[in-house]
Structure 1
Amino acid sequence: MALLVINAFVIPAFAEMFKSFQGTLPFMTRLLIATSDFILNYWYLLLAVLFLLTAGFRFYVKTPIGELQWAKLQLKIPIVGWLIHRIILARFTRLYALVLRAGLTAVDGIELVGDSTGNAFVAQKIKTIASLVGRGNSISNSIAQTHLFPPLVLQMITLGEESGSIDDLLDDVAEFYQREISYDLVRLSDAIEPIMLVIMGVMVLILALGVFMPMWQMASQIR
């Protein structure tokens, strides 16, 4: 919103003032004026492109391939990808412990929980786990083949499977992930703040250079 106000009102006002400038305007100033002119003259095209991109994206992610690719991409997004991954795994382990206590078989429980992960890529991996367990593999070995869980969590699941208390160990895993998520949220907040400050600083620097450099040149010409 701030950028729109600057390009719609601030830059055009300075552009009018700089028309009397004798000589070539600095590159940064010309870039700001050109950007402002483009936005003011072709705003409807920008809105149309934004609408088409949004509609195209929404349509694509509703297709089987698009949904899978978007789900996979979510887990690779810098900073937040690992947080999404841990939230999904915390939900999976918590729900799987509940369905096992409810008396469902290992395969039925995995399939049921897989549909509630909210991520098509992880759901596909969980279906692979269910298929492997259905063919006689252990739960821990099946999970290991999908690379969804880190080694430490796999060891906990293996221990629970061997001791016959896998539901309790799954609860422990869920608690482990909940603590990690709380810690990750703090780290995410700490990471976003300096990034936003840097972005705002760069924007202010570009605007300041674009506006004040020609003013300095005009002042030097007057002297």
Structure 2
Amino acid sequence: MIKNIKEGVPFSKCLIRYPQYFPSLYVNIIRTGEATGNLKDSLSQLLNYLQRLDDLRLRVKQAMAYPIFMVLVGLGTIFVMLTFILPRIAGMFDDFQAQLPLPTRMLLGVSDFFKAYWILVIVFLAAVIFLLSRHKPGKESILSRLKYRLPIIKGLIYKQSVSNFSTSLSILLKSGVTLLAALNDAASVIGNPVYIKQLAEVRKDISEGVSFSRSLLKFKIFPSFFVQMVKVGEEGGRLDIILADIASLYEKEIESDLKVISSLIEPAIILVLGLIIGGMLIAMLLPIFNINLLVGG
């Protein structure tokens, strides 16, 4: 790339040769900056955009890190109990002739299975995760499609998509890219193939003279609040500014939602894991509670 630039090839054309690293969104912003002589400003806008995206991703990861850690620790505890601890405790009851309580027998059955086949269980789970996360060219993985259907997650992903779209479109318009070209690039950051397809129809409408807000209202991709704001931006000639404001509002909503989700999901995980591990402990201790009955039998 440096060699090409030294030879006089425009920076934007150099980037086009590496689409795996530089999406068309970046290229268009830089190309417009070159054409208008404001490459420095365009690069600054692109940097701010990438920083906002990274900040948003970081907040999502931070909110989900602790719940995921709790789940992994809980599952690890259950696995160790079933595979290593329970078999040792079970040996305490080998000399008793009386039948063990049903919960204890069921738990020991599960423990025997894990003890005998724990490697196969891990391999099976790894294979399932691999198959669910595998994706073919041009087609999303099963896990990716599933996230759009999960009640809590899909709302969060939708808001993040709207925020990313608004930010991208705002920066492109501010850089001087036409609305038609900007829509094509901004649509790529949404991720949801359904919305991408509908935005292609919006572009078609705009090319035929339909206003942006009217077309959005027709396809109902975004909420009415978004459409009304876009209409205000169109009428006032401040669409790029309005879109930036929309992105900021959605970012605040996402941050608020993450706090609520985190405050709800952590107690729920503790409750579920507590019930499972507590149930296992009770099943293990039942024979000890009934020790007199077992000896007497």
Q: Same fold by TM-score, threshold 0.5 exceeded? A: yes
Q: Structure 1 residues 70, 105: closer, same or farther in 2, change over 3 A? A: farther
State how far apart, in whole Å, the 1-side matches of 2:100 and 2:238 are: 74
Structure 2 residue 190 is matched with structure 1 residue 117: yes
**Gaps (5+ residues) in structure 2?**
1-75
Q: Structure 1 residues 70, 51: closer, same or farther in 2, change over 3 A? A: closer
State how far apart, in whole Å, the 2-side matches of 1:222 and 1:113 are: 74
Give the counterpart letter for 2:136 in structure 1: K
TM-score, normalised to structure 1, is: 0.88
Q: Is the 8 A contact 1:75 1:81 kept in 2?
A: yes
Q: Structure 1 residues 82, 174: closer, same or farther in 2, change over 3 A? A: same
Q: Structure 1 residues 200, 100: closer, same or farther in 2, change over 3 A? A: same
Task: Say which SS state the counterpart of residue 151 (structure 2) adopts.
Answer: coil
State how far apart, in whole Å, the 1-side matches of 2:219 and 2:99 are: 61
TM-score, normalised to structure 2, is: 0.67
Corresponding position of 2:136: 62
Corresponding position of 2:233: 160
Structure 2 residue 97 is matched with structure 1 residue 97: no
* Identical-pair percentage: 27
Q: Structure 1 residues 119, 70: closer, same or farther in 2, change over 3 A? A: farther
Q: Is the 8 A contact 2:132 2:143 kept in 1?
A: no
Q: Is the 8 A contact 1:71 1:120 kept in 2?
A: no
Structure 2 residue 220 is matched with structure 1 residue 147: yes
Structure 2 residue 157 is matched with structure 1 residue 84: yes
* Aligned counterparts, 1:1-223, within 5 A: 1-59=76-134, 61-65=135-139, 67=140, 70-222=143-295
Deviates most, 37-46 or 184-193: 37-46
Task: Say which SS state the counterpart of residue 110 (structure 1) adopts.
Answer: helix
Give the counterpart letter for 1:47 in structure 2: I
Q: Is the 8 A contact 1:140 1:158 kept in 2?
A: yes
Shift of 1:133: 2.4
Q: Is the 8 A contact 1:129 1:143 kept in 2?
A: yes
CA deviations on 1:47-70 (whole Å, 9 max, x unpaired) are 3322322332233x33434x1865
Task: Say which SS state the counterpart of residue 79 (structure 1) adopts.
Answer: helix
Shift of 1:143: 2.2
Q: Is the 8 A contact 2:99 2:294 kept in 1?
A: no
Shift of 1:121: 4.0
**Gaps (5+ residues) in structure 1?**
none
Deviates most, 189-198 or 125-134: 125-134
State how far apart, in whole Å, the 1-side matches of 2:148 and 2:77 are: 31
State how far apart, in whole Å, the 2-side matches of 1:145 and 1:191 are: 36
CA deviations on 1:153-179 (whole Å, 9 max, x unpaired) are 221112212222111111111111011
Count how many residue pairs are aligned between Structure 1 and Structure 2.
221
State how far apart, in whole Å, the 1-side matches of 2:179 and 2:90 are: 69
Q: Is the 8 A contact 1:83 1:184 kept in 2?
A: yes
State how far apart, in whole Å, the 2-side matches of 1:147 and 1:51 are: 39
CA deviations on 1:86-114 (whole Å, 9 max, x unpaired) are 11110110110110111112111011111
Task: Say which SS state the counterpart of residue 76 (structure 1) adopts.
Answer: coil
